[in-house]
Amino acid sequence: MIWNDGLKIGVPLIDSEHKELCGRIDNLLAACSAGQGRAEIAQTVAFLQEYTVKHFSDEEKLQRSSGYPKCAEHKAMHEYFKAKVADLKASLEENGANVANVSETNYFLMNWLLNHIQKVDKELATYIKD
Ligand SMILES: [Fe+2]
């Protein structure tokens, strides 16, 4: 289970969206362990692509409304994630899901999300609360 309360940043809307994202990645990892990764991955990636549009825009709105000084920097990281997911999706479509692109996708999703929440989103939350 990726999600734990230590990942909460203290903004309920953002926390619930992060929990949803972590849950989807959990499902994908569980499917991979059960040998169903190749069947599950296209759906997970499509879901994430759609859901992160809303999620990132919610975070960016929060940044603008609080006058957060690192908006542009934070947005650039969101754009990086979107571009990388689009690349992974293209590889999955072009080559079919295989061990290499499934593990690359799992690794990227889990790592990026955990790092981003713990460092960048928590920094934003600290700014908002101060
Ligand atoms: Fe973020």
Q: pLDDT tens digits, residue range 64-115?
A: 999 999 999 999 999 999 999 999 999 999 999 999 999 999 999 999 999 9
Give the domain 12-129 fold: Four Helix Bundle (Hemerythrin (Met), subunit A) (1.20.120)
| DSSP string for residues in the chain | ----GGG--S-HHHHHHHHHHHHHHHHHHHHHHTT-HHHHHHHHHHHHHHHHHHHHHHHHHHHHHTT-TTHHHHHHHHHHHHHHHHHHHHHHHHH-S-HHHHHHHHHHHHHHHHHIIIIIIHHHHHHHH-
Q: What is the pLDDT of residues 22-73, one digit of tens each?
A: 999 999 999 999 999 999 999 999 999 999 999 999 999 999 999 999 999 9
Distance 35 CA to ligand 1 centre (A): 31
Whether the per-residue pLDDT at 15 is higher than 90: the answer is: yes
Distance 56 CA to ligand 1 centre (A): 6
Distance 91 CA to ligand 1 centre (A): 25
Q: What is the mean pLDDT of the chain?
A: 96
- Please tell me the predicted confidence (pLDDT) of residue 50: 96
Distance 116 CA to ligand 1 centre (A): 6
Distance 130 CA to ligand 1 centre (A): 18
The overall pTM is greater than 0.75: yes
Q: Which residues surround ligand 1, an ion (CB under 5 A)?
A: 59, 121
Whether the per-residue pLDDT at 1 is higher than 90: the answer is: no
Distance 95 CA to ligand 1 centre (A): 30
Distance 76 CA to ligand 1 centre (A): 10
Whether the per-residue pLDDT at 126 is higher than 90: the answer is: yes
- Please tell me the predicted confidence (pLDDT) of residue 120: 97
In this structure, which amino acid lies at residue 24? Answer: R
Domain ranges of the chain: 12-129
- Please tell me the predicted confidence (pLDDT) of residue 35: 94
Count CB-CB contacts under 10 A for residue 102.
19
